């Protein structure tokens, strides 16, 4: 569910950015995601953890990602580059949490990385250096957020995601006022089309609340180094949905690369299914 929600998410972001500037899109996304805070109790954690979560996985990741996609990063390729978070998470978890880097984790990541590299060898599509660097920085912020989530220990993840969404809106608004200006904000709000409204609703409730609640629950239950690599499947959905909805065609090399990524996890999934009681 998380992989599908986040894979399609990149197409939705691209559609939203056609009519709404990136920092303003962040305001809308997290303002809506924070609405359930009226009905959900605050997570039983210190405020520093709530702010750390809000600054990394919410504000940091999406300010960088939205701007990277705004300045030329294609939706499908953004879904690919952002998955560098799996590698950053492995390193950060070892540095800050003392988790062991197991040989099996490294081997799987190396094979999946080879698949991602092949996918990145796109034919006929230019990827701007600025878009690439901002998206890569976004992946590092996501990884820091993963480590923050893991370090919190047991916590109500729905509550964390909702209350963590209270932090970014005002900061996004400040960034929007500085870099996009009041006139552009006013014109975007006055003429916002239905497709942008639908995109914002998806980003707020499906990608943010549903996606990150489930993702955080996995990180709380299992080692970060075991959970993070599964996000490498996101580009498979991201590239496919970008091809279908945005006309970003996949080359034969990209299809081969996607196959390598799926192969890392596909065998394990089949074994689990075959071993489950009937």
Residues 99-158: tens digit of each pLDDT:
888 887 778 778 877 877 776 665 455 567 788 889 989 999 999 999 998 898 888 888
> What predicted TM-score, i.e. pTM, was given to this entire model?
0.84
Residues 190-228 have pLDDT tens digits of 999 999 999 999 999 999 999 988 888 888 888 877 787
SS3 assignment, position 30: helix
| Cα distance between residue 6 and residue 105, in whole Å | 22
Q: What is the DSSP letter of 46?
A: -
What is the rounded CA–CA span in Å between residue 67 and residue 107? 33
What is the distance between the alpha carbons of residues 123 and 131, in angstroms, rounded to a whole number?
18
What is the number of structural domains in the chain? 1
Query: The domain containing residue 239 runs over which residues?
Result: 2-275
């Amino acid at each position: 569910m998380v992989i599908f929600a986040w894979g399609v998410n990149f197409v939705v972001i691209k559609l939203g950015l056609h009519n709404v500037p990136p920092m303003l899109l962040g305001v809308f996304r997290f303002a809506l995601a924070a609405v359930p805070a009226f009905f959900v109790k605050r997570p039983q954690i210190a405020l520093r953890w709530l702010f750390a979560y809000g600054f990394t996985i919410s504000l940091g990741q999406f300010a960088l990602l939205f701007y990277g996609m705004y300045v030329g990063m294609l939706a499908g390729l953004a879904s690919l580059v952002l998955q560098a978070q799996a590698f950053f998470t492995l390193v950060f978890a070892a540095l800050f949490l003392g988790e062991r880097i197991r040989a099996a984790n490294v081997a799987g990541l190396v094979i999946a990385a080879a698949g991602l590299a092949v996918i990145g060898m796109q034919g006929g599509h230019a990827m701007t250096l600025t878009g690439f660097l901002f998206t890569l920085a976004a992946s590092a912020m996501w990884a820091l957020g993963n480590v923050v989530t893991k370090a919190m220990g047991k916590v109500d993840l729905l509550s964390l995601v909702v209350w963590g969404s209270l932090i970014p809106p005002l900061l996004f608004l400040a960034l929007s006022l500085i870099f996009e200006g009041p006139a552009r904000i006013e014109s975007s709000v006055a003429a916002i089309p239905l497709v942008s409204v639908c995109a914002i609703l998806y980003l707020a409730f499906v990608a943010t609340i549903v996606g990150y609640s489930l993702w955080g629950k996995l990180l709380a239950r299992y080692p970060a180094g075991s959970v993070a690599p599964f996000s490498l499947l996101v580009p498979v959905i991201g590239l496919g949905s970008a091809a279908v909805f945005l006309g970003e065609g996949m080359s034969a090399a990209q299809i081969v690369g996607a196959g390598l990524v799926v192969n890392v996890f596909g065998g394990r999934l089949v074994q689990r299914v075959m071993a489950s009681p009937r």
